[in-house]
A and B are shown apart, each in its own frame.
Chain A
Amino acid sequence: MASGAIIEIQDLKKTYRLGGVDVPALRGVSLSIAAGEFIAVLGPSGSGKSTLFHIIGGMLAPSSGSVQVAGLELSSLSDSQRTDLRKTTVGFVFQRFNLLPTLNAEENIRIAQHVAGLAGTNEKHFDHVIRILGIAHRLRHKPYALSGGEQQRVAIARALVNKPRIVLADEPTGNLDSENSLAVLDALKSLNEKIGQTVLMITHDSEAADYCARRVVRMNDGRIV
């Protein structure tokens, strides 16, 4: 792993088998991301960026190559070890917010603490995160009562509440209007700048990538170009 790199990817390949046919999604990706960096992976639909997102997040096993996240070689991790990785090392932000509809905003954030066995800890961090994200006044509301931007900020808070080493954001503004998109991008940018949060954002929106990322990596046809 390069000095200071929190994610180190070498010749990563992923091939899906669909209907008896091999479909390559990643054709040898190599990438190094430093701690505290805000990097955007930009590419059109089908370029392999979501596959890369899922592999880095420990939700998908690579076909070959090496992926090291926070010093852990993902290809050698068991299913339960990858689950542990998702608890505290990696935080996810999804395009569709993915909040639990039966819980209110605060409970949606705190459920991540419970899952990680960290309930009742990091209260200062919890308060700090919701203050940065500007959702303190919306904590008692259910997701259906929140705007898209507020829902996404709650999702970001959930991703951050366990102090993950890396935040992975998959098209975080894909379901938002321009005003809310800007608010969410500002929130991610602010987290990176204020608390040095490493952020890897997957997007097809070059403006969004250019707005907040310090580095933009472009993908096409399963390769970094």
Chain B
Amino acid sequence: MVQRLVLRNLFHRPVRTGLTILAVAVEVMMIVLMVGVSEGLLRDSLRRTRGVGADILIRPEISGRTITTADISEKLPGILMDRFPEIRSAMGATVFTPGNLQTITGVDWERFDAMAGGIVIFEGRTYRAPYEAIVDEVYARQEQVSVGGTIELMSHEFEVVGIVETGKMSRVFIPLETMADLQGWQGRFSQLYVKLNEPSRARALIDELRTLLPNRHIISVEDFLALTAASVRQLSSQFVNVIISIAVAIGFIVVMLAMYTAILERTREIGILKAIGASKSFIGSIVLRETLVISFLGILLGYVLSVLGEQLVAIRYPLVSVVLLPDWMLWAALLTIAGSIAGASYPAWKAASADPCEILSYE
């Protein structure tokens, strides 16, 4: 009976109820998608680093994870391979970050292909001339370029000569020499990738390399991935927390306004219920039950919108990966319910405290 009353109350004003459910759904979607985008970008970055196939990374001594310089001698790979027979291959790459979160990588394609264990070329070929570029399939889809088309990189036009599988180091590749010319990095690499005959030897070799190259940041790829994941999650959590706070605040305000309006509109009904003996807790529980129904429907709709949002992003922005995390979907639901209950608390208290005599005399 009480559930029936709750549902009838909600459907008595379908537009208001629908808008409130939608607002709650948007709150859930904001949380789920924001966390999903953050995690998706991170996982994509980690997958591409792992896709190089290296066991050890040698980088400049920098604090951040984004490299903007090239100060490792191009002779170092040869020196290391001569000195350490357990190294199967060593390869340098130069990295330029134009500022749109994407990187352009200068790399010797043959060495890169060998280290990665073969990179699938879907269309075209590798580069043979200075101003030729290779892009991965996701970049090609996002920028709508195909083999034979041109893209502008570092204020220069490059012809796209190949489209390759995604998940290998970068999305845009140009010849190592071209990058060196354009950036003035002749004879230098931004970072070095080292592949071992026995990956289990990585720890021991890292110790030796650190002695040999004390001014370099030398780390196993697995440790680099773990550290990167931790630091990026820590950094992004601040931004994500801000978004979550805004989303919860919006949900709180919308639910409070909706329920406050509802109880103002139903003042007489509340007075009637109190007159026939409804206790404060009975009246308050009706308001809170209505809020919970709105929250649950909003959460379900929010999940649907999140999945649709994920699909939309994948179609419209292929470079942006979205990962819907089940634990964060649960968190979004819990935060939404907590925010909604908090938002409904004042209207519930106001309804419960209503004076039936006053209401029935003057309403």
Contacts and interface: CB of A to CB of B under 8 A. Distances in A.
Nearest to B272: A98
Interface residues of A, number: 31
B261 to A, nearest CB: 16
Contacts of A84: 277
Interface in B163-191: none
B9 A102 contact: yes
A63 interface: no
A20 interface: no
Nearest to B282: A115
Nearest to A88: B277
A98 B360 contact: yes
A115 B276 contact: yes
Nearest to B279: A83
Contact of B273 (A54, A101, A110, A111): A111
Interface string A99-116: 111110001001110111
B277 A103 contact: no
Interface string B148-168: 000000000000000000000
A84 B281 CA distance: 13
B62 interface: no
Contacts of B9: 102
A107 B1 contact: yes
Given A83-B279, A111-B273, A115-B276, A98 B5 contact: no
A91 B275 CA distance: 9
B273 to A, nearest CB: 7
Most buried by B among A59, A101, A103: A59
Given A60-B357, A102-B9, A102-B12, A116 B277 contact: yes
Interface residues of B, number: 24
B330 interface: no
B275 A86 contact: yes
Contacts, number: 70
Provide the main secondary structure of the chain B interface. Answer: helix
A70 B278 CA distance: 20
A92 interface: yes
Interface in B242-298: 268-269, 271-280, 282
A100 B269 contact: yes
B5 A102 contact: yes
A223 B336 CA distance: 57
B276 A86 contact: yes
Contact of A112 (B276, B280, B357): B276
Contact of A115 (B4, B8, B277): B277
A107 B277 CA distance: 16
Nearest to B1: A114
Contacts of A119: 1
Interface in A63-100: 80, 83-88, 91-92, 94, 98-100
B361 interface: yes
B276 A158 contact: yes
B277 A54 contact: no
A181 interface: no
A26 B272 CA distance: 24
A111 B277 contact: no
B356 interface: yes
A57 interface: yes
Contact of A50 (B2, B273, B361): B361
Nearest to A87: B277
Contact of B1 (A98, A102, A111): A111
A115 B273 contact: yes
Contact of A94 (B277, B280, B282, B360): B360
A111 B1 CA distance: 7
B8 A102 contact: yes
A79 B277 CA distance: 11
A111 B6 CA distance: 12
A100 B5 contact: yes
A80 B280 CA distance: 8
A66 B273 CA distance: 27
B275 A98 contact: yes
Nearest to A112: B276
A107 B4 contact: yes
Nearest to A110: B1
Nearest to B273: A115
B331 to A, nearest CB: 35
A106 B82 CA distance: 93
B4 A103 contact: yes
A50 B1 CA distance: 31
Contacts of B269: 100-101
A86 B277 contact: yes
Contacts of B356: 59
Contacts of B278: 83, 115
12 contacts: A54-B361, A59-B360, A83-B277, A85-B277, A100-B272, A102-B9, A102-B12, A107-B4, A112-B276, A115-B276, A115-B277, A158-B276
Interface of A: 50, 54, 57, 59-60, 80, 83-88, 91-92, 94, 98-103, 107, 110-112, 114-116, 119, 158-159
| Nearest 4 interchain pairs by C-beta | A87-B277, A102-B8, A86-B277, A59-B357
